[in-house]
Structure 1
Amino acid sequence: MDISFRILSVGDDPDFADLVVDGLQEIDDRFEVLETANPHDGIEYIETEAIDCVVSAYELSEMDGIEFLKTIRGEYPELPCILVSGQESETIVRDAFLAGATDYLRKEALIDTSGSLTTRITDAIERGGRTVSRSQRAHERDHRAALFDNSPDPIMEIEFDGETPIITAVNTPFEETFGFEASDTVGQPVHDVVVPDEERGEHERLKRQVFERDSVETDVRRETTRGVREFHLRVIPIDIGDVSNGAYAWYTDITERKERERVLGELHDVTRKFIRASSAEEVAALAVEAGRDILKQPYTHFYRLTDDGRRLTPIAATEEMDDRFGDLPAFDRGDGLLWKALEAGTIQRYDDVQAEDDLASNLPIRGAIIAPVGDVGVFGSASPEPAEFDPFDRELASILITQMEAALEAVHRREALRVHEQELERQNERLEEFAGVVAHDLRNPLNVAVGRVDIAQKDCDSEHLDVVDRALDRMDELIDQTLTLARSGQVVGETESVDLSTLSEQCWRNVDTAEATMRTDNAPVIDADPERLQHLFENLYRNAIEHGGEDVTVTVGGLDDGFYVEDDGPGIPVEAREDVFDTGYSTNEEGTGFGLRIVEQIVESHHWDIWLTEGTEGGAQFEISGVTFAGR
């Protein structure tokens, strides 16, 4: 069989490919149809196969038909492409034309067995091959005219007279939008009709670009019958009759979309202000100001729950509301629409509050949005006119309230943290005072006693004096440990990078280690208070030697989120592992029972965690986690 045309069918609906195949091959065996459901695979077919025409569905899974068409046009501007849609949409028709579709079909047309699809494809291929007949030019004009006449967007057809673009036709939406009769615009230069003075420079730039047969897309502002509006302008070069220097100027109104983007941008700015707010009152004031500017209503306010939730009290209001109403009243539980919204837990939108609430019957307020702000209070924005709020206003109010709730929660957390920090500061002061008392009031009489014992030992030889001397040494050690314990629990302020390999070895030299051995294993660099970290290592070393013997081996190594200190001694029984951190707990009669409590205090002051487990060789392993590594 002689195959004259190779057609690529792209559509993820199995019926679509069947319709294309049935519409072509059963009528005309000149066509070979290649099928794919994936537009990306379709691009590969175009790159590797000799495709004469693409028939693509608009409804595709990974991208719509317009995007697929634009992708093709970027690499294959002359390849005939027919777009098929199951939707009846002028917008799709317009976008297909602008994206460069050779032709457009409704899906129902594929069912036609009269050869319609065959004709459309052969015409498209011939036009793509530039064998354009008079009838085909007429077909193009008819197709273009249908788009021109049926588009809901304003379009004007222009032709260059020299370099001056002259209007040759306008559609009905153009007349309605810009207020010009076609008879008054046709034959006039474009810049005399729709281009305002402030955009003449931009118009000249676009004019040169279109004159050189380039398409143009840009955003412009134009005066319309509804005031100044924003449009997305697309200028597409076309052939008009036998003249190849024409273009369509296609205006799509984007005013509402631009306004939406602007308002959402303002909401984003409000979020940044909320982050910097230091009090609930400041958050309320910012929310009220934002509500006035974004919802464009002067009567905006925020009421907070007070008196254990029995009353709504005004906290913030716009200046306009203060000037109009003076001091705002508080509302007891159940009174008015504010309480109704709070109890409903959802945003309430009223076309006319006077018809809803007797309390508002004498107020110059009609339309209103009232929204609960978590369990904190109620936000409201009102208008002197009825039904002033639309669904988009409700959406904006919802976003603002969500931001406000988050900001109030953040302020609450910061205030709670400040209170906690103040309490910790007072606790640190008490601990410091206690440490001073211990250092001064106990150390001085202890020093006197030590001195007297030294004198007595020179005067006489008594075993009782030796016992007293050892007891005084014990007291001195207890005082040192008590001072360390008092200060180790204070919250760490400034930290610095500490290399545990270096610090752990320094601490080892500060302890009477006898024949014991210390080694490090990939010990990390962490952020910590080096002085207190030194006490931690020294106490863990003493604990290992005290319980593991003079020849114990101690290892300091790194964990995924911290470090560990372990020994190869006898270990600590499971049932005793929680008790070892208690103040005064010790299995050694000579021990103070403060060492591991000090370790735990130092860990907690850094906001770390400590676990006692069995070591790799059966000894005790202390794991410290939640540590911040330096540079992270």
Structure 2
Amino acid sequence: MSEDIRLLMVDDSEFFAEMTAQTLREEHGMTTFWETSAEDALAFLDDTEIDCIVSDYEMPGANGLEFLEMVTERHGDVPFILLTGRGTEEIASRAIAAGVSDYILKLEVVEDQQYQQLANRVRSAVTQRRAQRRYELLVNNTPDAVAQVAADGEIIAANPAMAEFASVSREELVGRDIVEQLPDGIGNQWLTVGQTVIEERTAQRTETEFDGRHFHNIFAPVDIRTERDTFQLIARDVTERVERERELERQNERLDEFASMVSHDLRNPLDVAEMNLSMLAEQFDERPAEFDRIEASHQRMATLIDDVLTLARQGATVEDPEPTPLEQTIQQVWPYVESGETDLVVDATGTIEADAGRFQELLSNIFRNAVEHGDAATITVNTLEDGFYVADDGRGIPESERDNVFDTGYSTADDGTGFGLAIVEQIADAHGWTVSVTASDEGGARFEITGVTYL
């Protein structure tokens, strides 16, 4: 970093100014310049961009602090290190009040050859200023409303977004009372939270609704050397997120209504049909073969109803995912799959965010697909960078059919309902995941679920 630092050394001693500049250049890699008076230094600064100024305090004409004041007036906030020959509390207090970045005893540099210490102070001052500028650039360009507020409510600083929120210019906002400047009592609400944050030294978050818009607010104590306690406020407009969540909630409610309708309007007639078939069967000494076909049709209808209900309910968006251990959940699902001679190999580890019940349904449907339709001997589950995959060594899925396997009604078996993999896709979509199918290394099917959040 030193190679990027452009430093101006100012001292009325030409020998000291030149020697210090030379040492910082040759031994510490800085680009250095030197002048012997505040006036000459100001003229130099008019034509040259500098990262840091090191100045003597006692100089003919303008002293170091007067020089700093002139620099600030003409060139803004430039890192400024003051060299003082007297380490008195009065000078130290005046230097801090004037806004110097740091100060150091000149005798320590001259007699003790503490150029390393001076170089370290320069690097620190420049690093802090560059970080501050990056922060200011970020704050000024963010759409979030940002302000620094004192405990008594005075707005110390504010970005353009906060001024827009208050419907005034930035210049009008700074220095005013937040309670008076923000509408509908919001300023009073925010100040109350900010005062608590200052007192407890702990950040807080709140939500605000104003004029049909929703804001998520962050309050944090500002930990800097200052005579006043302040807090930082960041208000983010989350209206689109809130409206999206409400729409998802309405969608989930509609899915629940549909599921209830299916359960009532389809199961009741089926129950009546099954009861009448049972009563009719009692009238025959020898059960007719047609009864078996009717009973099989009833069973298929019951399976279809169950799958339709599952499809509706599993499609509801997951709003509150919980930590779900991957390996443990897989092992819990496997015993409930009629796997026959198929073996399961689990190499997946880690914890994901998921609705545990629906995640188990997703896994069991993929497992059953491999066993019942793929004739798999071995199923393997392993992790991906942003998800996991389930691969088998069965018959696989032809490339020409892979775009259709998640369609409702698609099945390669005569007795299949065609809902199994559609349910898998619905559950993945509800989590914000993506599911796709390709060929496994063994020639079977490989289902990849991506977009998964690992904890």
Q: What's the TM-score bracket when you normalise by the shorter of the two chains? A: 0.5 to 0.7
Q: 1:148 aligns with which of 48, 55, 60?
A: 60
Separation (CA, whole Å) in 1 of partners of 2:310 and 2:163:
44
- Selected match of 1:446 from 240, 256, 270: 270
Q: 2:435 & 2:379 partners in 1: Cα distance?
A: 17
1:605 to partner: Cα distance: 0.3
Contact 1:217 1:232 in 2 (8 A): no
Q: Offset of 1:511 from its aligned partner?
A: 1.8
- Cα distance per residue 1:383-433 (max 9 Å; x no partner): xxxxxxxxxxxxxxxxxxxxxxx97xx53xx32333322222222111111
Q: Is the 8 A contact 1:216 1:236 kept in 2?
A: no
Alpha-carbon offset, residue 623 of structure 1: 0.7
| Larger Rg belongs to | 1
Structure 1 equivalent of residue 174 of structure 2: 294
Retained in 2: the 8 A contact 1:557–1:564?
A: yes
| 1:89 aligns with one of 30, 41, 57 | 41
1:611 aligned partner, one-letter code: S
Aligned to 1:170: none
Q: Which residue of 1 aligns with 2:280?
A: 456
TM-score, normalised to structure 1, is 0.43
TM-score by length of 2: 0.58
The 1:214–1:436 alpha-carbon spacing in structure 2 relative to 1, beyond 3 Å, is closer
Per the alignment, residue 348 of structure 1 pairs with none
Structure possessing the higher relative contact order (Cα contacts under 8 Å, 6 or more residues apart): 2
Following superposition, the deviation at residue 455 of structure 1 comes to 3.7
The equivalent of 2:32 in structure 1 is 64
Corresponding residue for 2:27?
42
Question: Is the Cα–Cα contact under 8 Å of residues 532 and 602 in structure 1 kept in the other structure?
Answer: yes
Structure 1 residues 96, 504: closer, same or farther in 2, change over 3 A?
closer
Deviation at 1:580, TM superposition (A): 0.6
Structure-2 separation of matches of 1:520 and 1:37: 66
Could you say what secondary structure the match of 2:60 adopts? Answer: helix
State how far apart, in whole Å, the 1-side matches of 2:432 and 2:54 are.
62
Judging changes above 3 Å, is the alpha-carbon distance between structure 1 residues 620 and 219 closer, same or farther for their aligned structure 2 residues?
farther
Question: Structure 1 528/283 Cα, relative in aligned 2: closer, same or farther at 3 Å?
Answer: farther
Aligned runs of 1:260-279 on 2, under 5 Å? 271-272=146-147
Structure 1 distance, partners of 2:406, 2:175, is: 60
Deviation at 1:541, TM superposition (A): 1.1
CA distance in 1, matches of 2:95, 2:451: 56
Alignment-derived partner of residue 481 in structure 1 = 307
Alpha-carbon distance, 1:153 to partner: 6.4
Contact 1:565 1:621 in 2 (8 A): yes
Deviations 1:249-289 (A, max 9, x none): xxxxxxxx9xx99xx89989960589xxxxxx997452527
Question: Is residue 600 from structure 1 mapped to residue 425 from structure 2 by the alignment?
Answer: yes
Counterpart-to-counterpart distance in 2, 1:532 and 1:452: 36
Question: Does residue 435 of structure 1 match 2:259?
Answer: yes
CA gap 1:237/1:562 in 2 versus in 1, 3 angstroms? closer
Alpha-carbon deviation of 1:62? 2.8
For 2:321 and 2:56, the matched residues in 1 are separated by 63
From 416, 436, 454, the counterpart of 1:611: 436
Q: 1:97 to 1:40 in 2, by over 3 A?
A: closer
1:237 and 1:219, CA in 2 relative to 1: closer, same or farther beyond 3 A? same
Partners in 2 of 1:574 and 1:556 — Cα distance? 21
Counterparts of 2:321 and 2:166, CA distance in 1: 36
1:541-552 paired onto structure 2 within 5 Å: 541-549=367-375, 552=377
Contact kept, 8 Å, 2:395 with 2:444, in 1: the verdict is yes
CA distance, structure 1, for counterparts of residue 87 and residue 386 of structure 2: 64
Distance 1:237 1:500 in 2: 64
- In 2: Cα distance, 1:515 partner to 1:235 partner: 80
* Structure 1 pair 432–236 and aligned structure 2 pair: CA distance change class (3 A): closer
- Distance between the aligned counterparts of 1:544 and 1:273, measured in 2? 59
CA offset at residue 290 of structure 1?
4.8
Q: Structure 1 CA distance, aligned partners of 2:433 and 2:65?
A: 65
- RMSD across aligned C-alpha pairs, in angstroms? 4.7
Partner of 1:503: 329
Corresponding residue of 1:218: 93
Match of 1:535 in 2: 361
Shift of 1:563: 1.0
Deviation at 1:574, TM superposition (A): 1.4
Q: Structure 1 residue 435: deviation in Å? A: 0.7
Q: Distance in 2 between matches of 1:436 and 1:534?
A: 22
Distance 1:586 1:475 in 2: 16
1:514 aligned counterpart, secondary structure: coil
Q: Distance in 2 between matches of 1:625 and 1:91?
A: 61
CA distance in structure 2 between the aligned counterparts of 1:463 and 1:603, rounded to whole angstroms:
43
Partner SS, residue 545 of structure 1? helix
How far apart, in 1, do the equivalents of 2:299 and 2:396 lie? Answer: 29
Task: Give distance in 1, aligned partners of 2:55 and 2:169.
Answer: 46
1:98 — aligned with what? 56
Distance 1:62 1:425, change over 3 A: same
Q: Structure 2 CA distance, aligned partners of 1:416 and 1:285?
A: 17
Q: Percent identity, aligned pairs only?
A: 35
Q: Is the 8 A contact 2:327 2:349 kept in 1?
A: yes
**Structure-1 separation of matches of 2:447 and 2:415:** 22
What is the letter of the counterpart of residue 488 of structure 1? Answer: Q
In structure 2, the gaps of 5 or more residues are: 5-20, 46-52, 71-83, 108-128, 150-160, 185-233
Q: How does 1:194-233 map to 2 (within 5 A)?
A: 216-219=91-94, 231=98
Aligned residues: 320
Question: Match of 2:451, as an amino acid?
Answer: G
Secondary structure (helix, strand or coil) at the match of 2:312 reads helix
- Does residue 419 (structure 1) correspond to residue 243 (structure 2)? The answer is yes
Please state if 1:491 is matched with 2:317.
yes
Cα distance in 2 between the residues matched to 1:464 and 1:232:
98
| Counterparts in 2 of 1:506 and 1:593: CA distance versus 1, 3 Å | same
Partner of 2:324: helix, strand, or coil?
Answer: strand
CA distance in 1, matches of 2:270, 2:373: 29
Distance in 2 (alpha carbons) for counterparts of 1:289 and 1:628: 42
Report if aligned partners of 1:220, 1:231 keep a CA contact under 8 Å in 2.
Answer: yes
Deviation at 1:500, TM superposition (A): 2.0
Cα displacement string for residues 59-82 of structure 1 (whole angstroms, at most 9, x for unaligned residues): xx735357xxxxxxxxxxxxxxxx
Q: Is the 8 A contact 1:613 1:622 kept in 2?
A: yes
Paired amino acid for 1:540: I
Q: Distance in 2 between matches of 1:96 and 1:479?
A: 81
Q: Secondary structure at the match of 1:429?
A: helix
Secondary structure in 1 aligned to 2:94?
Answer: strand
Q: For 2:174 and 2:326, locate their aligned partners in 1 and report how far apart those are by CA, in whole Å.
A: 55
